[in-house]
Amino acid sequence: MSATVIDGKAFAAKVRAQVGEHVARLKSEHDLTPGLAVVLVGEDPASQVYVRSKGKMTVEVGMKSVEHKLEADTSERDLLAVIDKLNNDPSIHGILVQLPLPKHLNEDLVINSIDPAKDVDGFHISNVGLLGTGQKSMVPCTPLGCLMMLRDHHGSLSGMDAVVIGRSNIVGKPMAQLLLGDSCTVTIAHSRTKDLPDVVRRADIVVAAVGRPEMVPGDWIKPGATVIDVGINRLDAPEKGEGKTRLVGDVDYESCAAVAGAITPVPGGVGPMTIACLLANTLTACCRANGLAEPEGLTA
C-alpha cells in the first residue's frame, strides 16, 4: 500500500482563497475589513520570520494587518497596556501574541489578558473551557487545520477511532476535543502510555503531536489509517553539507506511508494550515463581533 499524500500546502492555499472571497464580500456588502494585530516581543529569529509571513498573508487576503514589535526587555505592564489598547480597538478583530515570550514575562497572564472574542490563537482559558464543553469558541489554529484536512479527506469522521499522541495545551488536548466533537472515539496517548504501539495500532486516525523526531514507525500504524503529522523537528543532515539540517515530523514518513491510507508530509502538511486557520479565525471573529453569519467550512 502506498498512502495518499494530503497536501497541506495546496489545501492551505484553498482556505486562504476562501477567506479572501469572504473578506471581499464583507467589504462590499458591510464596509467591514477584518483586522489582525500581531505582537512580537524580542528578536527571536524564528518568530520574526513567522510574523513576517503572517503579515504578508494577512494583506494578501485583503485584511488589515497591524504589527507591534516590542523590545526584549519590555515590561509586563507595558505589554499588557498594548494588549488593552488592541482589545478596545474596534478595527482589530484578532490579536495574537507571538510565543515564546522572554522569560521575565508570564505567558499565561499575557494570553488571558486578550479579549477572548479576539483570541484567534484559541489559547485563552475561556476559549479552552468553551471548546472543552462543546460550546462556540475560538479554536487553536493547528488542531483546526488538522480537523479541516481530515474532514476534507474522509467526509464524516463519525464513529472513527482516533489516537492523539501528545497532550499539550496547544495541540494535543484541543485536537482531542475537536475529534470528540465530530463523534470520533478518542484516546490521548503520550510518552507514559503503556503499550503505546498497540494503542496506536487500533486507530483509524493517528495525530502525532509529541515533539519527538520520527518517533512513530510504520509498524505502529493500522493498514489504511490516516496519519496527521504535526511534528516539525530539525535533524542534522551532513549529506547536505556541513551544518545543514533537514525537517522531519514525529512519524517515520517512509515506513508509515507504506502502511497508511493517507498521510501528511513534513514539510508541506500541517504547517501551512496553521497560518491559513489564523486568517480563518480572524474572519470568524469579525463576523461574530458584527452579528453576521460565520463563514461555512472555516471553523469547527
Kindly list the catalytic residues.
Answer: 54, 98, 121
Rounded Cα gap, residues 264 and 88, in angstroms:
39
What whole-number distance in Å separates Cα of residue 180 and Cα of residue 193? Answer: 20
Q: Distance between alpha carbon 161 and the CA centroid of its chain, in Å?
A: 22
| Alpha carbon of residue 60 to chain centroid | 19
CA–CA gap between residue 280 and residue 16 (Å, rounded): 8
Query: Which set of grid coordinates corresponds to residue 35?
Result: 483586522
The answer to whether the CB of 232 falls within 8 A of the CB of 266 is: yes
